[in-house]
Amino acid sequence: MVNHSLLRPELRPPVQMALLDDILGIVRANSLWPMTFGIACCSIEMMAAGASRFDLDRFGAGVFRPSPRQSDVMIVAGTISKKMAPTVLTLYEQMPAPKWVIAMGNCAISGGPFVYDKQYAIVNGTDVILPVDVYVPGCPPRPEALIQGFLELQDKLTKGGKTNFIRHFKRWPRKEQP
Ligand code: SF4
């Protein structure tokens, strides 16, 4: 189900039908179309996730689209410089709704190693300019981490994973720390 409370008010449909939302959520979760778009070194790991060894297509998200108008997932893979930020925003706005954003890597999450006192060139995280749905930490995150990010996004689109409907592998309970 698409959780409409997570969408911005202008993106929420005027009439909501729960069953249709459930079906659309499952369909969308199984056919995510990421944009072919990388800004820095994390994008190399993103490319590896889509290539044969890790095969992101196993999870229905392997068709990277060459245009934002055909994409519904933006993977921000790299450092957003202030010079690049307007371009990233334009690409996001050219994507049709509903759309989702994955912040991949420490640079996309918080500016990463390029944030220090009096730095003037780097945006301190994607969520300064865009609504982020999933954060994938690491410098760089491995392809498996990005795949986990997609599973989290699929969970989010299908009732927050409560139904366990979409998850392809068993979710093991976390052990309590002593
Ligand atoms: S998080 Fe690390 S690997 Fe990724 S773009 Fe930043 S510096 Fe490069």
SS (H, E, C) 44-55: HHHHHHHCCCCC
Residues near 22 by Cβ (< 8 Å), separated by ≥ 6?
Answer: 1, 158, 159
Q: Is 161's pLDDT higher than 60?
A: no
pTM of the predicted model, to two decimals? 0.83
Q: Is 95's pLDDT higher than 60?
A: yes
Ligand 1 centre distance from Cα of residue 42 (Å): 5
| Atom 8 of ligand 1, nearest CA residue | 41
As a whole-number percent, the residues of the chain with pLDDT over 90 amount to 58
Average pLDDT of span 70-94: 95
Ligand 1 centre distance from Cα of residue 41 (Å): 5
Report d(CA 66, CA 37) in Å as an integer.
Answer: 8
| pLDDT recorded at residue 107 | 95
| pLDDT recorded at residue 10 | 72
| Atom 2 of ligand 1, nearest CA residue | 139
